[in-house]
Structure 1
């Protein structure tokens, strides 16, 4: 099995080390100091008080690596459209594209009866991603581990080992089952679910509210989920998101208050959007919120609170130079 990780950051590096050390032929596309460190020292994973090292093929050019069986992208959604053309050399006739990303995926409507023609403009502007990587190649992947990259070529694992997989059409295909088996052998939990959008929404449900609210208020999860006024705003956003999802056929396995309670248990955690704002990096607004509002419009569901918060967080991000939308 040949697997390429496009974007060997914290999650991508975690995947690469574990799969390479389990015998998978792994390569990574990286750049700059990260690429230099991987080439010199290998990818280093700090986990459970020890360090694992994997020597993998690494390049800043996909053409050096050639066609793969699976290509993982662990990029943030806004980083995907500008680089899809660079991925072309990685794809053979049967290569699968594993979207290990947060938020609404570009292939969202693929496999839904009568809706294959739809694209999600927020994450697939002008259909650019779908044209370069047809949605039929996609395998959904919901990422649960918490990792970070404190220095080039190094990944620190903090918690979690589950990557939930699923075909957009709900099938248990040979390719998704083979990938699941390989990931399990590498030490991950990698269940295959027939309703991958349900899984995507459970994670997105919290992200669509807590991420933008944290960027606007600079508060951590424990405050956002427990302070009455802020919790009320988050809950209203989540209920609107739930209405959108259910209108599109999604089923939620937990209720909104349990989901909020789960966020509160994480404690004084800064969301990724707040971290990006503080560090002056592009913020993942479109995949986590704009796309949800777009899906609401497609489903005929009003999203007034989501629309309001979207306008505010976009303005905040533009003022900080962290958003160009």
Structure 2
């Protein structure tokens, strides 16, 4: 089984290191100083007080790696469309694309059924680049839970979590999903195959669509924005709007809004990924987390006044910073 991780930064590097440790045939696509360090010295993983270095096949050019059985995409959502053409040498007739990307996935309405079956989302797949370039039939969904950080070129520090939930768009337990699950499990990762992966997508998105932009606008950490009465109420209203949209599409939430916010507050003084990107001068991941939910609101005819307001503010914040177009 040949596995390529496309976008081997923090999460992709963590997964790649675990697969390499287990002896899997894994290759990594990365760039810049991080790539150069992996090519020269190997990929170092710091986990649980241990530091291990693995020799990995890392390249900036997918053509060097050949056709893969699985291509696991761990880029930020806004970076994927521009990379579709680059990924073509990795894909053969049986290649599975594993979409480990945050937010509303571009393939959301593939095999969902109902009146919106096959609908394409312009906010996350402008010009249908992924739909046409990958093909939705290749996709295996993935919800990424671990937290990791690239602390220096070629060095990834695992912070917490080891679950990568997998799921077919139609909810079946396919052979390709089970095979990948076994490979990830052999690498010491948790990889359950879920019949209702969209439920998990929404539970994670529920927090990302509210906490991320509020933190970027206020520079508050999770514990602060979830306990301040004003920002907690803004987050709650955004989440309730999103919940109406999701439930209209058949999603079931296992927890209520208050418990979800309390859980985020309990994480402590954590800076969300969007705040980290803003402070580091990296492009902000706004569309997959927020614009796409607004688009879903329009499709389902469910008003999103609070989401609309926060989206307008964070989009302008990103433009002023030169980190969103």
Residue 31 of structure 1 and its aligned partner are, at CA, apart by: 1.2
Flag structure 1 segments of 5+ consecutive residues without an equivalent.
none
Q: Which moved more, 1:115-124 or 1:169-178?
A: 115-124
In 2, the alpha carbon distance for the partners of 1:224 and 1:76 equals 24
In 1, the alpha carbon distance for the partners of 2:43 and 2:225 equals 36
In 2, the alpha carbon distance for the partners of 1:116 and 1:51 equals 47
In 2, the alpha carbon distance for the partners of 1:322 and 1:260 equals 27
Runs of 4+ off more than 2 Å:
114-117
Residue 260 of structure 1 and its aligned partner are, at CA, apart by: 0.4
1:12 is matched with 12
Contact 2:111 2:118 in 1 (8 A): no
1:253 is matched with 254
Give CA-to-partner distance per residue, 1:97-153, whole Å, 9 cap, x none: 111111011111111115443111111001011111111111111111110001111
SS of match in other structure, 1:23: coil
SS of match in other structure, 2:95: strand
1:66 is matched with 66
2:83 is matched with 83
1:96 is matched with 96
2:319 is matched with 318
Matches within 5 A, 1:154-165: 154-165=155-166
1:43 is matched with 43
| CA RMSD of superposed structures (Å) | 0.8
Residue 277 of structure 1 and its aligned partner are, at CA, apart by: 0.9
1:308 is matched with 309
1:267 is matched with 268
SS of match in other structure, 2:118: coil
Contact 2:11 2:148 in 1 (8 A): yes
1:215 is aligned to 2:216? yes
Aligned residues: 324
In 1, the alpha carbon distance for the partners of 2:121 and 2:153 equals 33
SS of match in other structure, 2:51: strand
Flag structure 2 segments of 5+ consecutive residues without an equivalent.
none
Matches within 5 A, 1:281-300: 281-300=282-301
Normalised TM-score (structure 2): 0.98
